Each structure stands twice: as structure tokens, then as C-alpha cells.
Structure 1
Amino acid sequence: MHCDIYRSSKKDEMYLYVATSAQEHADPFEKVPEAVMLAFGKPTFVMHLELSEARKLARVSVLHVMDSLQTKGFFMQMPPEGLINPNAVEPEGLRGA
């Protein structure tokens, strides 16, 4: 199974996995509800990924992602709870790159 991964413009460490189709010119976000896209913000392409049961992902179960891609056409990876300090100072030189 193939998917493309996009980074959110509204929240650090929020990613949207979108199932890729054989149609080259299809809208990759056509199956993503409008409310999800509004909360997600402007998507920035990160990478193309081939998923299989043998592949391990850092924060989520690959089987959960694959099931969501098959049933909904997308998977939203939320930032890890408790690891992000909303009051943290942004490191110099890393933002806006």
C-alpha cells in the first residue's frame, strides 16, 4: 500500500497520511473531510511511503494506518500528548526554514 505524508501548517508534529491512487491528476485530499482540512491547515508534502505489515512506524501502528487508509482514504497522526510544551521558546534558526 502506498501513501503520501503531509505536515500540518497549524500544529507541529501533526501529519496527514493520504492513500495514493493510480490516477496521476486526482486530488489527493478528495476523501479528507473539509472540517479535517480546515483544522489541519495548508498541507506540506513530506514524503511518499510504501506501507506493509512488516514496516514499523515511529509513533503509530502500521496496521492501524493501513486500515484507516483502506476504509477512509486518510489517517491523521496527532502530536504526542505531554511531549510538547506550548510555552517553549522556539529554537533560533529552525523555524520558517
Structure 2
Amino acid sequence: MICAVYKSLRKAESYLFVEKRNDFERVPEALMAMFGEPKLVMMLPIEKRDHLGFADIKKVRSELKEKGFYLQLPPPVVNLLEQHKKEIGFNPD
């Protein structure tokens, strides 16, 4: 299976994988409205891949078959200062 990967011009680091190029029929309208106009990034032979950057390849394959799309969102932003404060036991209260 070759899927099409699109990036969002509205949401940074958000990618939409669909089964066929320019086929957004199975993607919910609300998701497309949030995602904005999709920009094609690449055509990806998903069956030949063992892994993807930030996404679980098994989940991508499964959702493409079941839903017809997979949405990859960026990982949550980590506040390194707050994390460091917790590690050293800093509590201003």
C-alpha cells in the first residue's frame, strides 16, 4: 500500500496520512476544517516500512485500513525549567 502524506499549513508539525492521493472522503469534515488546506509532502510505501519518525507504524497501517486516514500530531512541549525544578525539589510555596 502506498499512502499520501500531507502536512497542515495551519497546525505546525501535524500530518495527515490518507490511503490515496487527494482522497479525503473518509476524513471527517471537522478534522479537515481544523487541519486546513493539506499540502502534499510525499507518497509513502507504508507496507515496506518497519518504522516511521514519530508514529507507530502498526497504528498507522491499522487506522488507514479501518478509518481511511491517520492523523499525526506533534509531541507535547516539555517545559524543561519546570521539569528541572521538580527534579531538584524546588517548591516556592
Identity percentage of aligned residues: 40
What is the DSSP-based 3-state SS (H/G/I as helix, E as strand, rest coil) of the residue aligned with 2:54?
coil
Aligned in 2, Cα 1:55/1:38: closer, same or farther, shift over 3 Å? Answer: same
Look up the SS of the partner of 2:47 in the other structure: coil
* TM score, norm. by length of structure 1: 0.74
SS of residue in 1 equivalent to 2:31 = helix
Cα displacement (A) at 1:53:
6.6
Which runs of 5 or more residues in structure 1 are unaligned? Answer: 22-26, 84-97
- TM-score by length of structure 2 reads 0.77
Q: Give 4+ residue runs of structure 1 displaced > 6 Å after superposition.
A: none
Partner of 1:47: 42
Gaps of 5+ in 2: 79-93
Tell me how far apart the structure 2 counterparts of residues 79 and 54 of structure 1 sit (CA, whole Å).
21
The one-letter code sitting in structure 2 at the alignment partner of 1:68 is E
Identify, as 1 or 2, the structure richer in helix: 2
When Rg is computed on C-alpha atoms for both structures, the one with the higher figure is 2
Query: How far, CA to CA, are the matches of 1:17 and 1:4 in structure 2?
Result: 6
